[in-house]
Amino acid sequence: MKELVRVFSQIALSRQGPQDLPASTVLLGLTVLAYMLVNFLIGLALPPVEGPWFVHVLVDAGFTLVWYAVLLRLFRKQERFLQTSTAMFGYQLVLSPLSIAAIYLSRRFADNDVLLFPATIIGLALAIWIIRAGGHILKAALELPMPACVALVIMQILAGQLLLVALLPESPP
């Protein structure tokens, strides 16, 4: 388990890639469950956020799996689905606590201009990190140039947010 967290951390730092993970359905399932569990626990630990955050995590996980299954099929690399998806959830699992904390801080300090600025900068830095790490994984999986992979990660994030807004129009993403 410790070794797996280390590999996910190295993937988040773009030092390793999906090829360094075993192609295992069980590992993918456990990684998705761990990703969802960490998000649920952090959601419970922080003060409540408006809207059904539980549903957000479920939709996010399902959409991510479908997105990469379709994307890898389009590029005729479907044999890389297990490793790519495991890497995507794994690095996000490592970064989720930081990302959720940044979102919380931005919402917490929305009325405080002095503290909102650093909270927003932290959130922006994490967003860039998440997009960069996702692009690194896709570059290894799809064998495309990095700018194309970054664009695909941004498209996934935007499409996921649009799906959440369409499914849950009253709640903030």
This prediction's pTM: 0.87
Beta carbons of 57 and 99 less than 8 angstroms apart: no
**Residues 115-162: pLDDT tens digits?**
888 888 988 999 999 999 999 999 999 999 999 999 999 999 999 999
What angle in degrees, to the nearest 10, is found between the helix axes of 146-167 and 53-74? 140
- Reading the block at residue 168, the tokens are 């849950």
**Residues 54-93: pLDDT tens digits?**
788 889 999 999 999 999 999 999 999 999 999 999 999 9
Residue 98's nearest CA partner among 39, 44, 50 is: 39
pLDDT of residue 115: 84
What residues have CB less than 8 Å from 9, skipping those under 6 apart? Answer: 91, 94
Beta carbons of 111 and 105 less than 8 angstroms apart: no
